[in-house]
């Protein structure tokens, strides 16, 4: 309806309502016998003809007619609505009511039964449309017949053509505004929804949208609803009221959606559907809402009596993500197609997040004047955009170590470089070359680093993070492993789900506590411990990023577990030549040193981590003495480190200093 047509309809609708009230007044005068009865009958006949004439001029159905059609009101119930509206809008009609009740301008059941020939008592029962749909508000008295009633404010405004969302609903609802254009795969889903709904001959469908990206699901629901001429509103499942209030919410929503062509988006994305109360609320609204309704969930977890359509909503495909980047990034930014291909290969982003990242890149470009945002800057923006929120379960490590800092045998370095190659080119091999289509299992890049403490396992993780320019998270196993059955699995799920989009590197440091030999089943805790290990293996095999496990004791790991890892890298204890290289690099360039004998230092039979501790402690001693670091400082620091390790400093290690 155009703006001018709406104005014309509004004026015609109000004229029609006034004419109907005139008809009601004429009918009331007959039955209240105010004056000559024949004259009043002629007035009623004239009023009816006037109503017919005005109705013929309506450019679209009047509100009162739509109300009666949609809610199936009888002619008597229609008159009840009109007399209630009349006392609000027409002072003369109010005076007629007052003349009968003697106490109030509000009509009563007794009045309605007296003046309307088509009256029926069932119109006032609690299950009648008038009361079920809350069209009238009853003020109970001792006698039901003497109880006054008035029209619901929302319905009064609806009759006059003033339309808005009921204030009893609006606190819980959010209007879904126009979303961005959908990518082709998502548009196909939206078209499928509208096709199914149109074939059913009624817009009373329940559609569960399953996926990890709430914004994409809202956009699909919005597109489908708009195509059917419906305005979409969203309600957060966490804010749904308790049982009695929820029933009232559902009833009012069903009334409003029927009268105004609304659709509902029930957002369960952040809801715990394992919670009984939350699940009961979601189930209740899903099974009783009578409009087109969408339920947004992470997994298909709703077992409903009502028939529903379940659709999986995935993020845009790799080609669609590339298309989005190409369309969203400003052409003056300094990036190449190779940069965009790398972004799509690493980051699995929603359409909304790609648009946000592109906007962020453009903002920095405009703020920095002549400086140009390049591919590396955009990469870093994507890292920030997809950074997982798992601070209580993991520590983000800022990687500083590089390849030259890592002193391990060349064979091990080559394996680490091969790991990096797998991460960098997984999209080419999995998607373009078809490996992912053959099997979805075993596509995760899972790695085990094993060796004594201090041999470089954590540093190697930093080196890979630096090489790949990815976030590195060290998992705090004391926070992940929980004594309560099921909680460890929930924690692991949170970690993997949160890290999935950006493919962050996950480092399970000293993982023996969780990944030891699967025990014989002696009780329920042993049984569930084995389930946790199986769950971990499943997630590692499907995780699109790199998951690294470190252990000091490879022998403690189950062989079945080891077979499912992509790479196993040993970090041997450093020999003398490797310890010389470590001592060469352990002191920063700014640290003053004097007369350090690297060959003598390399006789200290300790790993790289211990060498770093000795060097730092010796530096503090030298700083206290106001001198450069010398062999004496290192000797004292070495004795302290050996004492911490509960080792004896042998003569062959220290005698020649």
Instruction: Calculate the alpha carbon distances from 523 to 485, 529, 531 in Å.
Output: 12, 10, 13
Strand-pairing partners, residue 433, are none
Instruction: Calculate the alpha carbon distances from 273 to 303, 643, 648 in Å.
Output: 11, 53, 58
The larger pLDDT score, comparing residue 137 to residue 275, is at 137
**pLDDT band, residue 326 (cuts 50/70/90):** very high
Domain boundaries, the chain: 3-159, 167-312, 318-368, 403-570, 576-654
Q: What is the pLDDT of residues 216-230, one digit of tens each?
A: 999 999 999 999 999
CA 22 to chain centre: 54
> In 3-state terms, what secondary structure has residue 233?
strand
* CB contact set of 598 (below 8 Å; sequence gap of 6+): 580, 583, 584
pLDDT of residue 519: 47
Per-residue pLDDT averaged across 47-67, rounded? 92
Q: What angle do CA 171, 176, 181 make, to 5 degrees?
A: 170
Instruction: Calculate the alpha carbon distances from 628 to 422, 592, 594 in Å.
Output: 45, 5, 6
* Contact criterion met (CB below 8 Å) for 637 and 604: no
Looking at CATH, the fold of the domain delimited by 403-570 is given as Rossmann fold (3.40.50)
Q: How far apart are CA 601 and CA 577, in angstroms?
A: 11
* CB contact set of 304 (below 8 Å; sequence gap of 6+): 206, 283, 286, 287
Q: How far apart are CA 181 and CA 226, in angstroms?
A: 13
Domains 167-312 and 403-570 agree in fold = yes
Q: How far apart are CA 353 and CA 331, in angstroms?
A: 19
Q: What is the pLDDT of residues 100-129, one digit of tens each?
A: 888 889 999 889 888 888 889 899 899 999
pLDDT of residue 103: 84
Q: How far apart are CA 297 and CA 59, in angstroms?
A: 43
The larger pLDDT score, comparing residue 642 to residue 653, is at 642
Instruction: Calculate the alpha carbon distances from 205 to 20, 306, 307, 309, 633 in Å.
Output: 36, 10, 8, 8, 78
Taking the CA atoms of 217, 218, 224 and 227 in sequence, report the sign of the dihedral they define.
negative
b (16+ CB within 10 A) / e for 165-190 = bbeebeebbeebeebeebbeebeebb
pLDDT score of 81 more than 60: yes
Q: Which CATH number fits domain 576-654: 3.40.309.10, 3.40.190.10, 3.30.428.10, 1.10.8.60?
A: 1.10.8.60
* Consecutive H or E run containing 185: helix 184-199
Strand-pairing partners, residue 148, are 108
Of 538, 325, 543, 544, nearest to 424 by C-alpha is 544
Residue 204: count of CB within 10 angstroms of its CB: 15
**pLDDT band, residue 208 (cuts 50/70/90):** very high
Q: Which CATH number fits domain 167-312: 3.40.50.2300, 3.40.50.1950, 3.40.50.300, 3.30.420.40?
A: 3.40.50.300
Of 235, 299, 249, 250, nearest to 273 by C-alpha is 299
> In 3-state terms, what secondary structure has residue 599?
helix
pLDDT of residue 369: 55
Q: What is the pLDDT of residues 474-499, one digit of tens each?
A: 987 667 776 555 777 888 888 888 88
Q: How far apart are CA 78 and CA 475, in angstroms?
A: 67
Q: What is the pLDDT of residues 497-534, one digit of tens each?
A: 888 888 899 998 877 666 554 444 444 444 444 556 67
Instruction: Report the interhelical angle of 410-424 vs 337-346 (nearest 10°).
Output: 100
Q: How far apart are CA 592 and CA 624, in angstroms?
A: 13
Strand-pairing partners, residue 108, are 148
pLDDT of residue 484: 59
* CB contact set of 337 (below 8 Å; sequence gap of 6+): none
Q: Where are the alpha helices (DSSP H) in 500-646?
A: 512-515, 524-542, 559-563, 576-586, 598-601, 608-625, 631-645
Instruction: Calculate the alpha carbon distances from 596 to 630, 631, 634 in Å.
Output: 6, 6, 9
> In 3-state terms, what secondary structure has residue 627?
coil
Q: What is the pLDDT of residues 431-452, one digit of tens each?
A: 788 887 777 667 889 999 999 9
pLDDT of residue 79: 94
* Mean predicted lDDT score pLDDT of the chain: 86
Of 229, 438, 187, 205, nearest to 313 by C-alpha is 187
Backbone angles phi, psi at 472, to 5 degrees: -120, 130
CA 430 to chain centre: 27
Q: How far apart are CA 476 and CA 513, in angstroms?
A: 11
Query: What's the predicted TM-score (pTM) here?
Result: 0.78
Of 619, 607, 615, nearest to 645 by C-alpha is 607
Query: Of the spans 81-85, 123-127, 243-247, 555-559, which averages the highest pLDDT?
Result: 81-85
Instruction: Calculate the alpha carbon distances from 34 to 49, 153, 386 in Å.
Output: 22, 31, 77
pLDDT of residue 440: 67
Torsion of CA 522, 526, 531, 536, to 10 degrees: -140
pLDDT of residue 513: 63
Instruction: For the chain, state the CA radius of gyration.
Output: 37
End-to-end CA distance of the chain: 95
**pLDDT band, residue 372 (cuts 50/70/90):** low
């Amino acid at each position: 309806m155009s703006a001018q047509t709406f104005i014309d309809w509004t004026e015609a609708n109000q004229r029609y309502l006034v004419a109907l009230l005139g008809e009601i007044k004429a009918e009331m005068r007959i039955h209240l016998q105010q004056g000559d009865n024949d004259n009043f009958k002629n007035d009623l006949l004239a009023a009816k003809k006037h109503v017919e004439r005005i109705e013929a001029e309506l450019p679209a159905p009047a509100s009162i007619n739509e109300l009666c059609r949609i809610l199936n009101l009888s002619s008597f119930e229609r008159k009840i609505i009109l007399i209630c509206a009349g006392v609000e809008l027409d002072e003369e009609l109010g005076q007629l009511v007052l003349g009968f009740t003697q106490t109030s301008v509000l009509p009563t059941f007794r009045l309605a039964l007296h003046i309307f020939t088509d009256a029926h008592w069932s119109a006032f029962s609690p299950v009648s449309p008038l009361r079920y749909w809350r069209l009238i508000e009853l003020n109970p008295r001792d006698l039901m017949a003497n109880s006054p009633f008035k029209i619901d404010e929302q319905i009064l405004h609806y009759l006059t053509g003033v339309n808005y969302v009921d204030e009893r609903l609006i606190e819980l609802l959010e209007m879904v505004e126009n979303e961005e254009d959908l990518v082709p795969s998502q548009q196909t889903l939206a078209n499928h929804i509208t096709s199914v709904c149109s074939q059913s001959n009624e817009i009373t469908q329940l559609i569960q949208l399953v996926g990890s990206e709430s914004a994409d699901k809202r956009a699909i629901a919005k597109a489908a609803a708009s195509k059917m001429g419906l305005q979409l509103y969203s309600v957060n499942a966490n804010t749904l009221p308790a049982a009695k209030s929820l029933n009232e919410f559902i009833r009012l929503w069903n009334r409003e959606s029927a009268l105004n062509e609304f659709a509902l988006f029930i957002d369960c994305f952040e809801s715990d559907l394992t919670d009984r109360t939350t699940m009961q609320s979601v189930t209740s609204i899903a099974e009783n809402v009578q409009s087109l309704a969408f339920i947004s969930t992470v997994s298909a977890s709703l077992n409903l009596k009502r028939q529903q359509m379940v659709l999986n909503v995935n993020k845009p495909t790799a080609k669609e993500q590339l298309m989005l980047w190409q369309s969203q990034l400003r052409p003056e930014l300094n990036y190449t197609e190779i940069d965009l291909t790398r972004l799509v290969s690493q980051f699995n982003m929603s359409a909304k997040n790609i648009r946000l990242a592109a906007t962020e890149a453009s903002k920095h470009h405009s703020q920095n004047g002549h400086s140009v945002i390049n591919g590396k800057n955009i990469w870093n923006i994507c890292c920030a955009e997809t950074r997982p929120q798992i601070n209580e379960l993991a520590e983000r490590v800022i990687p500083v170590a590089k390849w030259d800092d890592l002193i391990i045998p060349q064979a091990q370095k080559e394996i680490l470089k091969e790991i990096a190659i797998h991460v960098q080119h997984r999209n080419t091999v999995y998607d373009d070359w078809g490996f992912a289509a053959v099997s979805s299992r075993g596509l995760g890049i899972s790695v085990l680093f094993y060796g004594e403490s201090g041999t470089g396992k954590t540093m190697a993780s930093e080196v890979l993070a630096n090489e790949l320019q990815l976030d590195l998270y060290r998992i705090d196993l004391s926070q992940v492993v929980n004594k309560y059955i099921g909680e460890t699995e929930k924690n692991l799920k949170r970690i993997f789900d949160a890290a999935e989009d950006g493919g962050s590197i996950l480092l399970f440091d000293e993982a023996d506590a969780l990944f030891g030999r699967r025990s014989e089943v002696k009780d329920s805790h042993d049984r569930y411990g084995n389930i946790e290990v199986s769950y971990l293996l499943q997630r590692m095999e499907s995780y699109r990023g790199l998951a690294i496990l470190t252990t000091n004791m490879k022998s403690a790991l189950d062989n079945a577990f080891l077979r499912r890892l992509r790479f196993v890298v040993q970090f041997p204890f450093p020999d003398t030549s490797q310890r010389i290289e470590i001592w060469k690099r352990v002191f920063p360039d700014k640290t003053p040193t004097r007369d350090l004998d690297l060959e003598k230092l390399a006789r200290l039979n300790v790993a790289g981590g211990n060498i770093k501790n000795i060097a730092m402690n010796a530096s503090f001693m030298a700083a206290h003495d106001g001198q450069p670091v010398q062999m004496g400082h290192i000797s004292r620091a070495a004795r302290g480190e050996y004492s911490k390790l509960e080792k004896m400093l042998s003569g062959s290690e220290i005698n020649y200093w």
